[in-house]
Every structure is written in structure tokens, then in C-alpha cells.
């Protein structure tokens, strides 16, 4: 999916399963995708994280930035997800992606329907399996347009 198609407001619902202790977490909120003057797409999420013992407000900001195409004359610019501080996170591409965070490996995927989804279906999803000495969880986030 072209990140420019994301511009606007999305609802998100995130489920997290911690494989270390079996804990379940959910986060729900809004994601705003905004085209910046420099051509990047700002991806700002705000919501509430809930678990058995309580809840807390959460937020994060990422960016989708164009990478320069390869100098072969045939490649189109690719997109890269970056953290707010500019560090690379992962390529924005359908299919499998990876990110090494310290000693923990994030293996994930962007799942985008080939055709526009019906209004009742998720528009797109992100899946992560994170495993290493410090983290061990799975996370799925569904994004859909507000009704």
C-alpha cells in the first residue's frame, strides 16, 4: 500500500500476548497519518493500553519516509518506517520484514488487502513476533477507517 493512501484518521486495535508470563494486553485508539512538508508521512498513535491489573494512556510517533531509488533507472522509490528520532525501523512493504532491537529480533509483516476491504473488515494489519533475551511476545494491530 502506498503510504500516501494512509493519510487521514484510522482506528486501531492492538492485541499483545507475552509468551514469558502469558499476560494479555490490548491497546485501542486513533492513528493520524499526516503528510509533512518534507514528504514524510507522520504516523501518530494515541490510545489506552489495558491489561488485567489496569490501564494507562499510550502514544507513539513513527514516520514513513521515501528512500532514494537504486541507481539502475528501473527502481521506484521505496518507503521506510523510521522512529521519531530518525532511526530506521523496517521497510514499508507487504510481506515479511525484520528489525533487530538490541538482542531482540522483530519479525513481522504488513498485511494489506489486494482490493479495498468492505467497510466491516480491517483495512490493513501489522503482525510482529518478537523474541530474544529481553522480549518474547506476539502483537497484531488492525487499522480501519472510523465509521
Q: Which residue has the cell 484518521?
A: 9
DSSP-derived secondary structure for 51-113:
ETTEEEEEEEEEEEEEEPPPTTSSPPPEEEEEETTS-EEEE--BEEEEEEETTEEEEEEEE--
**How many domains are contained in the chain?**
1
Domain that includes residue 90, residue range: 3-144
pTM: 0.86
As beta bridge partners, residue 24 has 17
pLDDT at 114 exceeding the cut of 80: no
pLDDT score recorded for residue 86: 93
Which of 66, 57, 58 is CA-nearest to residue 39? Answer: 66
Query: What span, in angstroms and rounded, lies between the C-alpha atoms of 123 and 136?
Result: 27
Across 65-82, average pLDDT: 74
Q: What is the CATH number of the domain that holds 68?
A: 2.40.128.20
Would you state the pLDDT for residue 27? 99
Amino acid at each position: 500500500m502506498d503510504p500516501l493512501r494512509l493519510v487521514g484518521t484510522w482506528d486501531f486495535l492492538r492485541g499483545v500476548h507475552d509468551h514469558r508470563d502469558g499476560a494479555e494486553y490490548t491497546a485501542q485508539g486513533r492513528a493520524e497519518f499526516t503528510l509533512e512538508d518534507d514528504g514524510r508521512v507522520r504516523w501518530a498513535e494515541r490510545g489506552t493500553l489495558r491489561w488485567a491489573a489496569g490501564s494507562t494512556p499510550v502514544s507513539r510517533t513513527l514516520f514513513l519516509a521515501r528512500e532514494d531509488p537504486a541507481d539502475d533507472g528501473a527502481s521506484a522509490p521505496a518507503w521506510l518506517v523510521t522512529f521519531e528520532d530518525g532511526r530506521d525501523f523496517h521497510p514499508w512493504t507487504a510481506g515479511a520484514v525484520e528489525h533487530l532491537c538490541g538482542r531482540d529480533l522483530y519479525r513481522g509483516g504488513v498485511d494489506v488487502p489486494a482490493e479495498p476491504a468492505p467497510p466491516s473488515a480491517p483495512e490493513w494489519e501489522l503482525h510482529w513476533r518478537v523474541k530474544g533475551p529481553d522480549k518474547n511476545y506476539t502483537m497484531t494491530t488492525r487499522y480501519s477507517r472510523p465509521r
